[in-house]
Structures are given as structure tokens and as C-alpha cells.
Structure 1
């Protein structure tokens, strides 16, 4: 979590709570099944966040004028819906792909924490503070991250990357639910955090300008 107090005199706060799990992967993690983001994506279906005052009322003015899909630069996202890693076969001479259960457990652990944090704001105090808090799960891996890309010849290549977004699907109270999870290498983590902080600062400045008479 990061926050700067410079604009708080206006009773406005925009910030991202980063929820991290760290994994020491011996073999590359590969994200596959790419799709582009779409303006038809509902931001709230993939990103957890809270607002105060609750939707409507006094703060409806800024809710209706801030397009979170654009402000968070989702129009350029490449999203992956599957992931795998590798392990040695019993012969110890060949690798085979597998679906790491420990990653799945980490995703669910982060989601459980986020849901608990978001639910704390179900009945916020009426303090007239305009808040926009995002909750972003991030899986940090120690070693290689790759994506599977189709080349001009219709063949698939593995390309090394530092960061990518995974669409993780799960059931929340028997309801199919999705969330975007950042998968990032350890060396690229700070760059990702600073980028989100910069976007939050821009959004915060815009909300302050809307609130001022």
C-alpha cells in the first residue's frame, strides 16, 4: 500500500493496496491463451475496489465522470487465461508441463484476503471522505516468466516477459467470478508498483478538480 498526503486536505484519496504472494519457481512460468481487452469489459468484474461515500449520493458526481477502464490503461491490455510451469519427469532427463497447485492456492489466498478487506467498507463511516481504493493481487516469481505467442507463420514461440496479466476464474458463493492477477518477475516488481501509483495520482488529481467548487 502506498499513499501521499499532499491532496488529503481536499478529503480525497486514491490508492492501490497491493496483495503479494512470492514463489521461487525453479522452471519458467508460462502464460497461454492470449486475448485483448475490450471496452465491453466491465471494470468491476475484473478489479476489486471500494468507493466512499457509497455509489450514488454526494460522490456520484465523480463516479460518473471517471472512466476507470481508461484511467487504468486497460485499453492496451493483453490478458492470458491459462498458465503452466514445468517439472522433471521421473527419468530426470525430460521436462513435462504441469499446472502448479501452489499457484492456484496462492491466488485463492489473495482473493480471500481481498474479499475480507473490501467487505470492511460495506458500511463506511459518514466522514465525507471521497475514497477510491483498488485491491490488486500480484504473484511475484523469482525466475523466468514467459508467454506463448503465435508468430507470422502461424507457429507458437515462447517469449520472455517481465510482467503479464492472468484472468483467474473461480466460484464466489457458487457464482462464477473473475479477477485479473498480475504475474511479475521479482526484478520488475517495483516498476509495476510505481506505474500503478502514478496512475492513482493522476486519478486522484482529477477527482480533486471535480470536487473543488
Structure 2
């Protein structure tokens, strides 16, 4: 259920009281523009990235991971950083950790880093490298002004990595300004199957 325009503005203003003055740490002696996850600071967002503007920020939240080949589901938490340096791409970094039933941290989990590369025809390229030895190239397009769907065009893995053949992702800003995320994967002999989902709250930007 979507919030009214006035309600959405109220929620955004309340959230900004704690997030608007925060940004990712920077070294002040870098001779080139640093990354910013706060659109109020640093270089202007490149016009090529305007379709991805709602994603810029640092997000944290919780979700669930499950798959037919694991004894799940398991709870996990994630921090997602999407930042820019004024050029026509966004930097992407996600760090996850497993939680027990009470919400206590069990151990660090998946990590990924990469780049969102929007193109002139509205196509989005998303390149991701995973700490598990997987490299993925996604292509997609905006579904709406605040949601983006992508599917892998290529998956490369090291000799020691788990067998992954394809993946699909959907990101979307929900009514209260949070970021929802859903991923499906085809791996270890399974067809495309739901794998992870999470709801992340903005903490910077």
C-alpha cells in the first residue's frame, strides 16, 4: 500500500533528521573527488545516473536466505553502500552477516562489490564480484522510477567456487522510503529459485 504524497514527505523529513548529515568516511588528502553516498555533499550526481538516484545512500536492514540445498531459512542482516564520484557510474558494496533467532550476530557472511553502469538507452549494467569466487554481469532496466530489475548475462567462477549459472535481482523503494531487495539464483543443479530477500532502511543520505 503506497503512502500519500504528504505522508511520504513527512516520512522523508523525519528520516533526514538522522541521515542527512551523515556520509561515508573519506580521506581528506585524496587528490581526486572522493565517493559520496549523500547527494547533499560532494560532486553532483552525473546526469547519466539520474534514473538510479533513489539508490544512492547507505542502507541497513534484515532479511532471509533460503535455498533447496541449505537447511534454512536463515536470518541475515546487510549493509548496502551505493555511492558516486560524479562520473557516469555508481559504486556498490554489500556486506552481510548471519543472525540467530534473537537477532544476535553469528558470523560475517556474503560480501560483494561492483558497479552500476547506466546507459543512454535506459539499459543498466551491473557488474558484481563476490568474495565466494563468483563474477556476475547483470543487464536490466528500470521497472518504474523507483524499481529496477536485472538478470545475469554472464557468470564466471573460480575453480573453487560454488556452481552458479544465473541470477535475477529486483530492487525497489517501498512506500515508507525503505529499499526492498529480492534475488533468485540458479545454482548447484537447481533451476531459478528464490534465494534472498531483505528490507533495508536508509542510514546515510
TM-score by length of 2: 0.23
Task: Report which of the two structures shows the higher radius of gyration computed on alpha carbons.
Answer: 1
Structure with greater proportional helix content: 1
Structure with greater proportional strand content: 2
Higher relative contact order (CA 8 A, sep 6+): 1
TM-score by length of 1: 0.22
